[in-house]
Each structure stands twice: as structure tokens, then as C-alpha cells.
């Protein structure tokens, strides 16, 4: 385009010089024509990127790795004259997201729509936009650019894998999985009322129902899990082992990088989803790099908070697994189940896990074999598992390339 314009400049100068030296009017007429062409092209190029509106609609601001990010774009011409061509360049930083498009000719007050869909392959927070409009005149002499600075944020949650079973936590009293079963224990789940029987405690009498029915009625309860479940996720820089890899995978697909960090994030998200779907009270603790604690709670709100934290997790914390367990473990009451997710190859956290078991806390560890992730300078995952099981810790060992759904669904018990 600049070469073509320079040719017009050169031809204009030649015609002017020829007219001055020869005095013939035809050369001046050609010069006027070329000058008018340049001015008209410049104005046309400027008008094509103005009086244009772009509407960008994102179906959701929250998505998950493996799911499709869908967007709808609408370009509208608000001028009385047509737009010959218009290029929309999108500068979003979502990996693999290509929303740029060349819009065909737009008639006056016309509109054009297109959709863009991308399978999310990387967790984290990303920016949609800004965008740039590029257009020019029909002669290809000038090109104009207009920057649209508007941006928005989306959050991509880590993927989760289905689990059919995980080492079930137990309490000291009645408990286990939530059951629709009558019990003589007093729990938080009141199931109804029945007639008073000799031996029933007075604190179980439901006085309002008794007054209404003119007879003594007592409350009945259902079994309810009494043990809270806590997850300690280690995302310290010390625990990270990974093989060299690139995040550019096959278009339309996602893959799990050969990194203990990314495996730990997927495992933590999957376990949290497993227990919260079962309506268990689930707590979460990590340092990212500041202290991040979610007290035990149930439901989708708790799951959303955990997934948001995992989506933004970076393995840069200086708080090791040993320090995490020492700082947070002493708050746990007897009978609590603690799930430790770590790839730390050192011995310090093993001692802390042993102390938790001695205090009467049911301890489950999900560990990763550093040798399978390329770190052969430390103890193997199998040796770590032997030490943990000897201390009374139920252990899941994960290697690079394992089917996480199958490994986490194994019925692990102490030998």
C-alpha cells in the first residue's frame, strides 16, 4: 500500500514538472486529478473506521478447562454511505482464542454478525479485548486504524475428573455418608416427630407439637456426618516438578501438562467437587502465597470459591507443606479428616502427618511421583507412600500419565 501511494506521489510530481516546463495544460489536469484522488482516498479511508459500532457478547464470564468459550460479535454501520471492507482484530490473551474477522461490505445502516468459539485449554484469569478496526479506501492507497480499548475479564476454572469413590471420612460418633435413616443419636438433621416412649430424653420433646396434639411428641433425627473434611493443598515452589512442555496443544483440545503443580490443581478440584456434591462439610486451606482459608461449608458456593482460588493458583509460595500443616493442623479437632495434596519430596511434612494421626485425625495423602515428572534427584513416590502408610496415613500415589479418575476412585485402606 505505501509503494502504491508513493507511485501516485511520484507521478503527481512528474506531471507538475512536465506542465511547468512545457506549459501544456494536460499535465496540470492530470496533476489535479491525482491530487483529488489522494484527498478523496484519504477521506474515504478515515470515514470507513468511524460511524461503526461493535457489540461483543460473551455467554459467560466463568468457564472451565475443556469447555467452549463462546462469543457473539455484531458490527453495525451507522453511516449513510457503505463500508467496502472492514477488518476486526481481537487482542484477547485467551490461549487459542481467534475472534478476529474480516467483515464483508456493509450497506448503509447494515449489520453483520459472527460467532467465535474456543475450547479453553489453560486455567486462569484472561482478558477479552481490546480490539482494533482496520479499513481503507477502494484504491488501496491509505489504511486507517482505530483502537477500541474496552476490555473484560473471564475466569477459567481448572478441569475436574469424575470420581466414583474416595476414602470415606468417618467421625468419632455416628456419621459417614449422609443417610436417610432414623437414629437414636441427636444430630443436626431433624426428620419428624413421633409419640413419646419410656426412656426418651426430655430435651427431645417437641413442645409445640405436643401442645397442638395434646400428647407428648418427641423429635426424630437422621444420621448425619459429624466429621468435617479439610483439604491442605501445597502449592509451594519447593514442591514443583515438571517436564519441559509447550501449552500450544491440538486445536480444539486441552491436555494436562506434565507438571506436578497442574496435576495437584486438578486433583484438588476433583476431590472438592466429589465431597461437595455429596453435601459434605468441606474446608480448604492453602497459601497462594498469602493465607487462604475457607471454613467447612456445603454447596455450590463453597465449590465456586475453591475453584476460583485454584484457577488463580501459582506455584510461587514460600510456605512449604510442612509449614502449612504445622500452621493449620493444630486448629483441627479430633475426628476431623484431613486430605493432604502435595508433591513435596522432603521429610518434614511426613513428620507432621504422623503427628496428625497420633492426635486422632484421619489423614489421607495424595502424593505425586517426582521421578515420573522428570525429577530423579529426590526420593521416589513409592518410597514416600511406604513411609506414609507405615505412619497410618491412607495414601494415593499419582504418576505422570495416570488416569486420575481411576486412581482417585481406588478403595485405598491401610495394609
- Number of CB atoms found within 10 A of residue 341's CB: 25
Asked if the bond preceding 238 is cis, omega within 30° of 0, the reply is: no
d(CA 85, CA 53): 14
Least-confidence region, from 117-121, 235-239, 410-414:
410-414
Q: Is the pLDDT of residue 10 over 50?
A: yes
pLDDT reported for residue 86: 93
Q: Which three cell numbers stand for residue 60?
A: 459467560
Predicted confidence band at 2 (pLDDT cuts at 50, 70, 90)? low
Mean pLDDT over all residues of the chain?
86
Torsion over CA: 247, 248, 254, 256 (sign): negative
CA atoms within 13 Å, Cβ hemisphere of 372: 17
pLDDT reported for residue 24: 83
Task: Tell me the whole-structure pTM to 2 decimals.
Answer: 0.80
Q: What is the CA radius of gyration of the chain?
A: 33
d(CA 346, CA 139): 69
d(CA 135, CA 46): 8
Is residue 49 a contact partner of residue 142, using CB atoms and an 8 Å limit? no
Pick the closest to residue 42 from 123, 133, 136 (CA basis): 136
Q: Is the pLDDT of residue 168 over 80?
A: no
d(CA 353, CA 359): 10
pLDDT reported for residue 208: 86
Predicted confidence band at 249 (pLDDT cuts at 50, 70, 90)? very low
pLDDT over 70 percentage in the chain: 89
Q: Is the pLDDT of residue 303 over 70?
A: yes
Q: What is the DSSP letter of 237?
A: G
Q: Is 120 helix (H, G, I), strand (E, B) or coil?
A: coil
Dihedral angle of Cα 59, 63, 69, 70, to the nearest 10 degrees? -10
d(CA 238, CA 48): 55
Q: Which residue carries 479439610 as its cell?
A: 230
d(CA 286, CA 234): 6
Is residue 46 a contact partner of residue 144, using CB atoms and an 8 Å limit? yes
Q: Which three cell numbers stand for residue 163?
A: 470420581
Q: Is the pLDDT of residue 252 over 60?
A: no
- Number of CB atoms found within 10 A of residue 173's CB: 11
Q: Is the pLDDT of residue 308 over 50?
A: yes
d(CA 264, CA 134): 44
Pick the closest to residue 369 from 264, 287, 265, 246 (CA basis): 264
Backbone φ, ψ for residue 69 (5° rounding): -85, 115
Amino acid at each position: 500500500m505505501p509503494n502504491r501511494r508513493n507511485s501516485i506521489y511520484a507521478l503527481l510530481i512528474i506531471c507538475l514538472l512536465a506542465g511547468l516546463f512545457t506549459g501544456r495544460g494536460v499535465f496540470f489536469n492530470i496533476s489535479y486529478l491525482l491530487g483529488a484522488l489522494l484527498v478523496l482516498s484519504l477521506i474515504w479511508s478515515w470515514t470507513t473506521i468511524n460511524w461503526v459500532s461493535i457489540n461483543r457478547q460473551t455467554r459467560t464470564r466463568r468457564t472451565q478447562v475443556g469447555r467452549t468459550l463462546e462469543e457473539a460479535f455484531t458490527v453495525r454501520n451507522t453511516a449513510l454511505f457503505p463500508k467496502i471492507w472492514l477488518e476486526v482484530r481481537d487482542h484477547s490473551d485467551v490461549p487459542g482464542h481467534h475472534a478476529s474477522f474480516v467483515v464483508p461490505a456493509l450497506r448503509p445502516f447494515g449489520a453483520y454478525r459472527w460467532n467465535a468459539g474456543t475450547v479453553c485449554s489453560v486455567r486462569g484469569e484472561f482478558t477479552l479485548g481490546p480490539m482494533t478496526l482496520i479499513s481503507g479506501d477502494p484504491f488501496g492507497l491509505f489504511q486507517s486504524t482505530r483502537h477500541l480499548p474496552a476490555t473484560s475479564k473471564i475466569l477459567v476454572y481448572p478441569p475436574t475428573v469424575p470420581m466414583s469413590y474416595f476414602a470415606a471420612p468417618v467421625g468419632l460418633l455416628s456419621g459417614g455418608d449422609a443417610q436417610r435413616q432414623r437414629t437414636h443419636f441427636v444430630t443436626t438433621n431433624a426428620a419428624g416427630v413421633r409419640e413419646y416412649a419410656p426412656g426418651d430424653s426430655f430435651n427431645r420433646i417437641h413442645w409445640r407439637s405436643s401442645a397442638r396434639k395434646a400428647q407428648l411428641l418427641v423429635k426424630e433425627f437422621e444420621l448425619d456426618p459429624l466429621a468435617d473434611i479439610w483439604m491442605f493443598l501445597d502449592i509451594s515452589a519447593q514442591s514443583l516438578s515438571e517436564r519441559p512442555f509447550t501449552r500450544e496443544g491440538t486445536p480444539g483440545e486441552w491436555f494436562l501438562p506434565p507438571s506436578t503443580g497442574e496435576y495437584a490443581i486438578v486433583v484438588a478440584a476433583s476431590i472438592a467437587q466429589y465431597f461437595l456434591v455429596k453435601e459434605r462439610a468441606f474446608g480448604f486451606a492453602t497459601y497462594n502465597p498469602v493465607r487462604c482459608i475457607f471454613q467447612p461449608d456445603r454447596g455450590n458456593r463453597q465449590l465456586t470459591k475453591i475453584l476460583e482460588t485454584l484457577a488463580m493458583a501459582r506455584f510461587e509460595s514460600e510456605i512449604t507443606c510442612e509449614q502449612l500443616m504445622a500452621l493449620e493442623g493444630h486448629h483441627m479437632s479430633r475426628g476431623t479428616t484431613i486430605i493432604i495434596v502435595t508433591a513435596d519430596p522432603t521429610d518434614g511434612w511426613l513428620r507432621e502427618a504422623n503427628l496428625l494421626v497420633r492426635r486422632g485425625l484421619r489423614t489421607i495423602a495424595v502424593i505425586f511421583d517426582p521421578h515420573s515428572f522428570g525429577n530423579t534427584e529426590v526420593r521416589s513416590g513409592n518410597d514416600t507412600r511406604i513411609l506414609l502408610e507405615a505412619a497410618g496415613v491412607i495414601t494415593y500415589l499419582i504418576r505422570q500419565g495416570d488416569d486420575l479418575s481411576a486412581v482417585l476412585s481406588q478403595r485405598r485402606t491401610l495394609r
